[in-house]
Structure 1
Amino acid sequence: MVRVLAADGSAPAAWSYRDLTGAALTLAARLQEQAQALGRPARVGLLAENSPEWVAADLAALFAGAVEIPVPTAFTAQQAASLLQSADLCLTDAAGEAALARWRTSTPQPVLPDGCPAVALDLPALTRAPRPAAPPQIPAHDQIVKVIHTSGTTSAPKGVQIRRHGLDELLTSLRARTRPEIFERYLSIVPLSLLIEQVAGLYMPFLAGGSVSFLPPGTALVGTAADAAPRMLTLLRAARPTALVVPPTVAGLFLALCDQQPAESVTERHRRIFGHDGPVFIACGGAPVPRRSSSASTPTD
């Protein structure tokens, strides 16, 4: 199940994996048609916020044996153009279309290369469409399936090629070392253009039969705006997460929340911060974090 939280606290919108997989198979058939015309796997840009549309497009690219190039909507026009220079088409949701429009006004140079159309993802229409008869195209063992961006902090972002066997081995390793219940309710707060978020926030919950919750549409993801992390904290109780991946800044916020009420029990603390009293798996990377808060009795990692 994929859920999209509501900004007003009302019930989240929900999409079943069955619906998203069906939409992905329909889109994959169209990508396979393009690959046949090109005589090679299609290179597919993906410009979308964390959303059900992103999930369907990502699965479609995998099913079609395409080379997926995910691009954050928070990138500058120059950063996006450096990644999309070889794309054959670019799939977009509403946020992706808004990013393209913003970039057109910020630079005279086109972000998309000549002959690369922007294709809007109409998830309801894809869900209603008849399922294709042909099976999906399974990528070859050593085929490149993704080109993941680097940070681009010192120069233009560079694409890191991810092959199918590398992704398979990573998932196999993680599944052998984690329990399925960890991914019962994953909360996605960092961009899905990052490989770690694709693995932890999409593939692991999918394989474990869990769910993933996305922030309300238009909500800044952590790492894309200075105040994104503090605003995200208000949504934790609604999401009731059992797992999430966070940068060190959010780990620091969690420690600060723990220190606000040092006398409370672990169960009380979980209810106050996460909305439930069960365990929460928090993975953090990018910089060192303290092993303990001043009031915590157990390590934070």
Structure 2
Amino acid sequence: MIRQWVALVIIVLVYIPVAIDATVLHVAAPTLSMTLDASGNELLWIIDIYSLVMAGMVLPMGALGDRIGFKRLLILGSSLFGLSSLAAAFAPSAGWLIAARALLAIGAAMIIPATLAGIRTLFADARQRNIALGVWAAVGSGGAAFGPLIGGILLAHFYWGAVFLINVPIVLLVVSLAARFVPAQQGRPEQPLNITHALMLIVAILLLVYSAKTALKGAISPWLVAGTLLTGAMMLLAFVRIQLRARTPMIDLRLFGHRIILSGVVMAMTAMI
């Protein structure tokens, strides 16, 4: 029993920086503009690339976790997140920081399905599992909400790279503890992972999230927003039809009929926008 909740603490701990990094740079734009000589367009990409890439990669990474096991995915994603945080903290240019933030997003996209699968594995009892999912969701919402505050405090006392460096000790702690306390999950090598279908899903979600973000900001023409939204929706519909017809789908779409899973996905997508 105690081991279950210790493992949950580890899982939640690594999810905190994932949530914070979605909003931590919202107050750093003036500093980044002066320090990295970033243009207005580069600043937008520095801030938005994280949520865009993460939105597109979460579901394919979940399929990858089915193949290799979610404990491996958690450790791999956490390691990538830590290394990318170091790269971002010492970025010499805006382009470097954009690339590092994209890698951070890929690491985060591995961590999110790994943590959810870990909760599912740890808690067989439905009541305990719902409590654990509630804690996970609260941490995600709280981390995103407090991101600007944490970013402001760090920028007031340290250089801008500190907003990324705080991730490193957390990741080191999580990787060492996860290897010991998080139970291993048997991977399913036979689980299909069609690269073409995965890319279709990634591009579809990227287009949908990008169109939503740009529509809210009024940054581009409404016609371009509508075209991007329509293209993304058509690609997503095509992906869903392929998955429904497949004998062994990459993603079991029936999971979205589960109220808790569906609400979690909706909350995550809303936070990304």
For the aligned pair, the TM-score class normalised by the smaller chain equals: under 0.3
TM-score (normalised: structure 2): 0.26
The structure in which a higher percent of residues are helix is: 2
- The higher relative CO (CA closer than 8 Å, separation ≥ 6) is in 2
Larger Rg: 1
The structure in which a higher percent of residues are strand is: 1
